[in-house]
């Protein structure tokens, strides 16, 4: 995308590509996205929780506390381990191939990005696997 995404881009992606709306949407402007989505497709988004990620919440001084992920993390155990900055990490990763992609046609750019993300995801999996194995080694064997 040549410019920063807007509410309609997020709304369209969710509405077009999800059969059922996600339970939780964590987004830097979720406080504005929620009313936008609810006014356009209230039935589709009726059970979705929209929350501003921890990193961007600091900038939302006039917004309701109800839109901050940090508050949901205190009362909903299923969201405690969510990395609310995953999108920022992903943006940072993709910025590394931005220049290369700018010289490619669409077909090659999509393929290159796909392979880059596969390698990146595999590295993350191996890192988590390695961390898990180290933790398992620390657990006494007689348990």
**76 belongs to the binding site for Zn ion (CB under 5 A):** no
**94 belongs to the binding site for Zn ion (CB under 5 A):** no
- Name which position in 25, 31, 34, 51 contacts Zn ion (CB under 5 A): 31
Q: Whole-angstrom Cα distance, residue 125 to residue 119?
A: 10
**7 belongs to the binding site for Zn ion (CB under 5 A):** no
Q: Please give the residues from 33 up to 72 whose contact with Zn ion meets the rule CB under 5 A.
A: 60, 63
* Residue closest to 42 by CA, chosen among 65, 69, 11, 70: 11
Question: Distances in Å between the alpha carbon of 75 and those of 33, 34, 42, 45, 72?
Answer: 22, 20, 25, 21, 5
CB of 17 to Zn ion, least distance (A): 25
Please say which residue, 42 or 62, places its beta carbon nearer to Zn ion.
62
Q: Whole-angstrom Cα distance, residue 36 to residue 24?
A: 15
CB of 62 to Zn ion, least distance (A): 7
CB of 77 to Zn ion, least distance (A): 25
| Chain residues that interact with Zn ion, rule: CB under 5 A | 31, 60, 63
């Amino acid at each position: 995308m040549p410019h920063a995404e807007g509410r309609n881009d997020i709304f369209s992606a969710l509405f077009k590509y999800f059969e059922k709306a996600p339970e939780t949407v964590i987004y830097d402007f979720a406080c504005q996205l929620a009313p936008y989505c609810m006014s356009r497709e209230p039935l589709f988004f009726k059970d979705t929780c929209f929350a501003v990620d921890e990193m961007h919440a600091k900038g939302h001084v006039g917004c309701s506390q109800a839109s901050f992920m940090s508050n949901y993390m205190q009362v909903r155990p299923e969201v405690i381990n969510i990395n609310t900055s995953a999108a920022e990490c992903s943006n940072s990763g993709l910025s590394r191939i931005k220049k290369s992609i700018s010289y490619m046609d669409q077909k090659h750019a999509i393929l290159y990005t796909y392979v880059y993300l596969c390698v990146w995801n595999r590295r993350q999996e191996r890192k988590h696997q390695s961390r898990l194995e180290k933790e398992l080694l620390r657990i006494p064997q007689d348990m």
